[in-house]
């Protein structure tokens, strides 16, 4: 099942494996692509994955999530982005650009104003920052920035875009009752918390048209008091479907949540696919394709998830950092990814860019 072809809206995928977005920290300091970025995406495409979702890419200068991040907030980035799309297409792959704004989880030191913006002033402990509540004008400016970045991705030849609506970044902050304490058109109840992403989808569609694939990654649980939980997430998924979303990737958590997005210690099959139950609930709630991410390591586990209908596509993050050719290895009979979920690849202090630290030890 995992290695079967799949049609995702108008994209013909060579298999059902998705590279879940992983920031690279490989752009230059001005957000332009480098040879290292081209090599990464060329290797991933050569490795056989069906759909690549790029690392989160910045739509507005007020939302840096990480240093050396890819940027799409200006037309000057289109040329570089188009070279990423072409190296992927040359190797028979497909790629969507992940669009993001960090909101209260932005790195203050990387912002011109040194001040994070967010739906509400809720202190962010990891960034040690109290964000400023966004004005109505700023909200519309950021919505427009997402739409323009989507248009740039389309112009650059990307096969689609994915809104980063998960992990406590700005879109997720608007959806979450924990971070959105507003009582105006943009917050106050579930429906109004949806307004930001709902308006964003309308603005994106105006720029890219109805047939261009637009996906979202969202939390089924924020694991925060007053935050998103599964029943609300399922209603949000229905709203997204009605608002023309083409696929939903199901994930969890914010920076400060105790239960993490990328969980460590995936030791055996029982630890794998830790979001699978939510995947099944999403499959029951909506008819758009569901991508399931989180701890999938074995081909047989992935095959079973697809067979049992817990998801339509399986996303892999850390395993493809370790083995960009994992899809080809699965094809050749390998059963399990070599990734040991040590999370060394997320160690900012020690690494200049994202890489597998185990591989580095044992080349």
Residues 6+ apart with CB under 8 A from 255: 105, 124, 125, 126, 127, 167, 168
318 contributes a contact to ligand FMN by CB under 6 A:
yes
164 contributes a contact to ligand FMN by CB under 6 A:
yes
Q: Pick from 2, 8, 17, 22 the residue near ligand FMN by CB under 6 A.
A: 22
> 61-89 burial string, b = 16+ CB within 10 Å, else e?
bbbbbbbbbbbbbeeebbebbbbbbbbbe
Residues 83-112 that bind ligand FMN (CB under 6 A): 98
In the complex, what is the shortest distance from the CB of residue 354 to ligand FMN, in angstroms, rounded to a whole number? 5
345 contributes a contact to ligand FMN by CB under 6 A:
yes
Residue 329, class by beta-carbon neighbours within 10 Å (0-12 exposed, 13-18 middle, 19+ buried)?
middle
Residue 1, class by beta-carbon neighbours within 10 Å (0-12 exposed, 13-18 middle, 19+ buried)?
middle
CB nearer to ligand FMN: give 42 or 252: 252
**Among candidates 1, 13, 149, which has minimal Cα distance to 69?**
149
16 contributes a contact to ligand FMN by CB under 6 A:
no
316 contributes a contact to ligand FMN by CB under 6 A:
yes
Q: Which range of residues in 15-23, 73-81, 84-92, 207-215 is near ligand FMN by CB under 6 A?
A: 15-23
Q: Pick from 291, 354, 355, 356 the residue near ligand FMN by CB under 6 A.
A: 354
55 contributes a contact to ligand FMN by CB under 6 A:
yes
262 contributes a contact to ligand FMN by CB under 6 A:
yes
Q: Pick from 21, 143, 285, 355 the residue near ligand FMN by CB under 6 A.
A: 21
Structure tokens at 108: 């203050």
293 contributes a contact to ligand FMN by CB under 6 A:
yes
Compute the residue count for the chain.
363
In the complex, what is the shortest distance from the CB of residue 273 to ligand FMN, in angstroms, rounded to a whole number? 9
**Among candidates 48, 193, 23, which has minimal Cα distance to 100?**
23
Question: Which residues are known catalytic residues?
Answer: 169
* Dist. CA 225–CA 176, nearest whole Å: 10
The residue nearest ligand FMN at its CB is 317
Q: Pick from 261, 298, 323, 324 the residue near ligand FMN by CB under 6 A.
A: 261
Site string for ligand FMN, 191-230 (x = CB under 6 A): --------------------------x-------------
CB nearer to ligand FMN: give 198 or 295: 295
CA separation, residue 89 to residues 49, 96, 159, 183, 320 (Å): 12, 12, 10, 46, 18
Tell me whether strands 57-58 and 94-100 are parallel, antiparallel or unpaired.
parallel
* Dist. CA 58–CA 25, nearest whole Å: 12
**Among candidates 134, 122, 112, 120, which has minimal Cα distance to 62?**
112
Can you tell me whether residue 340 is helix, strand or coil?
A: coil
* Dist. CA 333–CA 335, nearest whole Å: 6
Q: Which range of residues in 36-44, 110-118, 132-140, 311-319 is near ligand FMN by CB under 6 A?
A: 311-319
Q: Which range of residues in 75-83, 161-169, 171-179, 204-212 is near ligand FMN by CB under 6 A?
A: 161-169
In the complex, what is the shortest distance from the CB of residue 21 to ligand FMN, in angstroms, rounded to a whole number? 3
172 contributes a contact to ligand FMN by CB under 6 A:
no
Helices (H), the chain: 35-46, 78-90, 136-155, 170-175, 190-208, 230-242, 276-285, 299-308, 318-322, 326-331, 357-361
Q: Which range of residues in 8-16, 17-25, 44-52, 74-82 is near ligand FMN by CB under 6 A?
A: 17-25
* Dist. CA 201–CA 185, nearest whole Å: 16
Q: Pick from 6, 8, 15, 23 the residue near ligand FMN by CB under 6 A.
A: 23
146 contributes a contact to ligand FMN by CB under 6 A:
no
Interface residue list for ligand FMN (CB under 6 A): 20-23, 55-56, 98, 164, 166-167, 217, 251, 261-262, 293-296, 316-319, 345-346, 354
């Amino acid at each position: 099942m995992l290695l079967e072809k799949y049609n995702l809206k108008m994209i013909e995928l060579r298999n059902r494996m998705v590279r879940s977005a992983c920031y690279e920290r490989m752009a230059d300091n001005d957000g332009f692509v480098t040879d290292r970025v081209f090599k990464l995406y060329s290797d991933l495409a050569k490795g056989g994955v069906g759909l690549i979702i790029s690392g989160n890419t910045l739509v507005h200068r007020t939302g840096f999530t990480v240093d050396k991040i890819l940027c799409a907030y200006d037309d000057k980035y289109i040329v570089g982005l188009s070279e990423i799309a072409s190296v992927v297409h040359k190797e028979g792959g497909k790629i969507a650009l992940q669009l993001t704004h960090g909101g209260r989880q932005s790195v203050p030191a990387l912002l011109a104003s040194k001040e994070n913006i967010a739906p509400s002033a809720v202190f962010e402990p990891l960034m040690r920052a109290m964000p400023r509540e966004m004005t109505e004008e700023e909200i519309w400016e950021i919505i427009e920035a997402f739409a323009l970045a989507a248009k740039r991705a389309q112009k650059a030849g990307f096969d689609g875009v994915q809104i980063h609506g998960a992990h406590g970044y700005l879109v997720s902050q608007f959806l979450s009752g924990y971070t959105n304490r507003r009582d105006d058109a943009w917050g106050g109840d579930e429906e109004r918390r949806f307004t930001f992403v709902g308006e964003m989808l309308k603005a994106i569609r105006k720029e890219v048209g109805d047939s261009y694939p637009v996906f979202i990654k969202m939390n089924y649980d924020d694991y925060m008091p007053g935050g998103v939980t599964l029943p609300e997430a399922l209603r949000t998924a229905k709203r997204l479907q009605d608002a023309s979303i083409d696929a939903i990737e199901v994930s969890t958590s914010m920076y400060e949540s105790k239960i993490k997005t990328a969980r460590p210690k995936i030791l055996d099959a029982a630890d794998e696919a830790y979001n699978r139950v939510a995947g099944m609930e999403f499959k029951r709630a909506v008819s758009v394709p569901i991508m399931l991410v989180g701890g999938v390591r074995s081909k047989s586990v992935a095959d079973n998830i697809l067979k049992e209908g817990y998801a339509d596509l399986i996303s892999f993050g850390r395993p493809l950092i370790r083995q960009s050719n994992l899809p080809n290895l699965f094809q050749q009979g390998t059963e399990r990814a070599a990734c040991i979920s040590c999370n060394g690849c997320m160690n900012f202090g020690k690494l200049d860019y994202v890489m597998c630290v185990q591989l580095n030890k044992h080349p």
